[in-house]
Chains A and B, each alone.
Chain A
Amino acid sequence: MNNQDLLYHYFSNSLTAEQEALFQNLLETDPDFKAQFKLEEDLQKAIKSTHTDRLKKKLQGFENQLDKPKTTIFNHRNLAIAASIALLIGWFGYNTLFNTNYNSLYDTNFSAYPNTVYTITRSDDAKSIEREAFVAYETKNYQIAIEKFDAIPKEAKENYINFYKAQAFLGLNNSEEAKNLFAQVVQENQGFEAESTWYLALIAVKAQDKDLAKTYLEDLITNYTYNKDKAEKLLKELK
């Protein structure tokens, strides 16, 4: 084991007693080792501080949402108006869409959203319908997933169910049902709004509705951080 390996083990908290003794000895006798350790220890604090700043910003964002629930409603109403206008413009501007390969843009940007809400290995409620739904979702049995999502009793239905149900519809190429559910998720404002806006944009791309897609992308870029880079790139490609 070389000195670098000792440092790897130190930072993953996996030094054996023997390695620990060697580590302490090197710190006292080898100035280069000590300097390298100090650098990595400082970097550890710097990275933690970076994450702390990001978390604090997120929490302040939550707090602002709690303070001003009306702002988001206002934004969404604006979005609805903009979307209606975009639909009209989209209709008349149909011919200008000619040169864009919408299917390829959709395929490049689409990936099914991973299950981040339900841990399937969790054993405490292993028999629940929600678990069965997510097992079906993860194994891409989307029709079954939809049936199971629907079978979850109303009082046990979490806010994220509609989002994943919409994903399952996308998996079945049923954009219409998916679109309605994503729009509902955005309207309800209980989480996954940004993600839903992204998928609404992709559905609009697939439907070759350039202006509606742009409206959703602009909304995403202005109001959220999710997929911001991708959204900016896609927006450029649509222009």
Chain B
Amino acid sequence: MHRVQENITIEDLKQGSDLLFKRIYEDNRDKFINFARKYHLPQEDVIDVYQDAYIIFYNNVMQGKIEEFTSSISTYLFSIGKYLIFDKMKKNNKTINPDFDLSLIREKEELVDSNLDLDQGELTTEQVLLKKYFGTLGKKCQELLTLFYYRGYSIKDIIEASEYTSENVVKSAKSRCMKTLKERINSNQ
């Protein structure tokens, strides 16, 4: 199992294999729990933070924000996890000890990769509506818009990765999806 983990590349992860997604989660889980022990959080919270850190890491990979691994996957998870733990503590007004200045630690520069997007997705009213009606679109539209906006694919990338045959076909399919999305939002306002 560890042999596989050492060889995992960004490209492997980007293929979106569920098995790999699960394996990385399981392989790093105990290490993360051990690492987080010093912060004296309840086990439930540690698991919650671990999951959120893993999702942030995975989203960054899928969105192309991590171009190559500069450290091991566990280093990424610890680094993001630490950021989230300090963020949580700051929100709860807790400190580890009174001499500890949290603001010094939770700066983004402390992260393993300063390009990481740590946004955990608190949505505005408009975004909540878009999310709701995006979920009602057909599978093809959801997939196409996901390639555009989540994966950051160019039109050429989309032609290579899907059944669409030309730039114009992609563009018109996308504008139809956007039109349907807007219509659904407008008719339900």
Residues of A bordering B, CB below 8 Å: 4, 8-9, 11-14, 40, 42-52, 55-56, 58-60, 62-63, 66, 116-117, 119, 121-122, 124-125, 156, 158, 160, 191-192
Contacts and interface: CB of A to CB of B under 8 A. Distances in A.
Contact of B25 (A4, A8, A62, A160): A62
A47 B152 contact: no
B68 interface: no
Given A12-B157, A49-B121, A52-B121, A158 B51 contact: no
A58 B59 CA distance: 14
Contacts of B12: 119, 122
A122 B4 CA distance: 12
Q: At the interface, is chain B mostly helix, strand, loop or mixed?
A: helix
Interface stretch (B89-97, B100-108, B128-136): B128-136
Contacts of B152: 11-13
B55 interface: yes
Contact of B131 (A50, A55, A59, A122): A50
A12 B131 CA distance: 20
Interface residues of B, number: 52
Interface string B55-92: 10011001110000000000000000000000000000
A47 B149 contact: yes
Nearest to B153: A12
5 closest Cβ pairs, A-B complex: A46-B131, A46-B130, A12-B154, A44-B149, A49-B121
Interface in B12-69: 12, 15-23, 25-26, 29, 47, 51-52, 54-55, 58-59, 62-64
A17 B52 CA distance: 35
Given A42-B126, A117-B19, A47 B134 contact: yes
B187 interface: no
Contacts of B16: 116
Given A47-B146, A52-B121, A58-B21, A125 B134 contact: no
B173 interface: no
Nearest to A7: B148
B10 to A, nearest CB: 11
B165 interface: no
Contact of A52 (B22, B55, B124): B55
B84 to A, nearest CB: 14
B162 to A, nearest CB: 15
Nearest to A43: B130
A33 to B, nearest CB: 15
A42 B47 CA distance: 29
B145 A47 contact: yes
A59 B17 contact: no
Contacts of B17: 116-117
